[in-house]
Amino acid sequence: MANLKEIRTRIASVNSTRQITSAMKMVSAAKLRRAQDTILQMRPYANKLHEILSHISGAVEIAQDNLYAQNREKKNILIIAVSSNRGLCGAFNSNVFRKLYNLLCNDFAVQYRNKTVDIICIGRKVADLCKSKQIHVKETYHELFDQLSFDNIVPVAESVMKSFASKSYDQVIFVYNQFKNAAVQLLTVENFLPISMEEQKNASVYKSDYIFEPNRNFIVDVLIPKSLKIQFYKVLLDSNASEQGARMTAMHKATDNASDMLHSLRINYNKARQFAITNEILEIVGGAEALKG
């Protein structure tokens, strides 16, 4: 059994840790509220923009002529992995890396062996994990989460879109955590480019007589890039809200575990203290008996 001093030191250490995790939980809860409000307000706009695009592109050939809708043989692949800059958020970052690694080993194994797969990391943690596994990362953007705004992500989105339009890449996909609620994050692999034509094909059911100014081609050419930038921004907002939810949950569990450990340590401390007191009483009684006789 550990002595009283060791148990007291352990109790003080665990209590200090519990105070830290409790404080981090409250900070994450406050950040989660803001991030959750932002993504929930963003989703209807992004979905409506995509719906409008589907309505006005009833003629499928118009959208197919767009640079961002060209389906090519999947030779050059760009994977954008979105994680966080900080840890202490459970399996949030490791899940993204595992999915990325799985894509490289299975879905894009041939391209990866041919070195035609590039990786862009948004967030330090997944970049660090790639480095530890000696996976080459083309670019890392960690500053986007310092001040997450649409204006800040536009240059990155435009750079990716330009690379696809210039045929540097044949497919661009996202790997990120989609926000569902504070306790649940959905690991998602989402196609970014080329844009999916399925919904546009179904758009032919709409028979509304629209008047297009200046013309339908121009509107599609403007809406598709705007929709892509909105999609890029939505992915980062989803990941940011998921990060705060994962961290709040992780810190909540850590605080509960620290409380349970403190309870156990205090029981052990009381047992050790009672054991020491009993030994002292026995020594006193033994000494008194020795004097008597």
Please write the tens of the pLDDT for every residue from 6-42: 999 999 999 999 999 999 999 999 999 999 999 989 9
Give me the number of domains the chain comprises. 2
Same domain for 270 and 234: no
Residues 150 and 225 in one domain: yes
Per DSSP, the residues of the chain read ---HHHHHHHHHHHHHHHHHHHHHHHHHHHHHHHHHHHHHHHHHHHHHHHHHHHHHT-SHHHHHTSGGG----S-SEEEEEE--SS--STTHHHHHHHHHHHIIIIITHHHHHTT-EEEEEESHHHHHHHHHTT---SEEE-GGGTS--HHHHHHHHHHHHHHHHTTS-SEEEEEEEEEEETTEEEEEEEEEESPP-HHHHHGGG-------SS-HHHHHHHHHHHHHHHHHHHHHHHHHHHHHHHHHHHHHHHHHHHHHHHHHHHHHHHHHHHHHHHHHHHHHHHHHHHHH-
- Final residue before a domain boundary, out of 213, 231, 246: 246
The yes-or-no verdict on residue 64 having pLDDT over 80 is: no
Same domain for 100 and 214? yes
Averaged pLDDT, 262-280: 91
The more confidently predicted of residues 53 and 247 is 247
**Are residues 123 and 263 located together in one domain of the fold?**
no
* Shared-domain flag, residues 185 and 221: yes
- pLDDT per position as a tens digit, 161-220: 999 999 999 999 999 999 999 889 999 999 999 887 554 444 445 455 667 777 777 777
Whether residue 210 sits in one domain with residue 78: yes
Are residue 87 and residue 147 in the same domain, yes or no?
Answer: yes
Is residue 272 one of the residues assigned to a domain?
Answer: yes
Q: Please report whether residue 283 resides in a domain.
A: yes
Asked if 64 and 202 sit in the same domain, the reply is yes
Mean pLDDT of all residues in the chain? 88
> Is the residue at 26 inside a domain?
no
Instruction: Indicate whether 88 and 188 sit together in one domain.
Output: yes
User: What is the residue range of 260's domain?
Assistant: 4-20+252-292
What is the model's pTM?
0.85
Is 28 part of a structural domain of the chain?
Answer: no
Claim to verify: residue 48 and residue 176 sit in the same structural domain: yes
Do 267 and 232 fall within a single domain? no
152 in a domain, yes or no? Answer: yes
Q: What is the CATH number of the domain that holds 282?
A: 1.10.287
Percentage of the chain surpassing pLDDT 90? Answer: 66
Residue 64 lies in a domain: yes
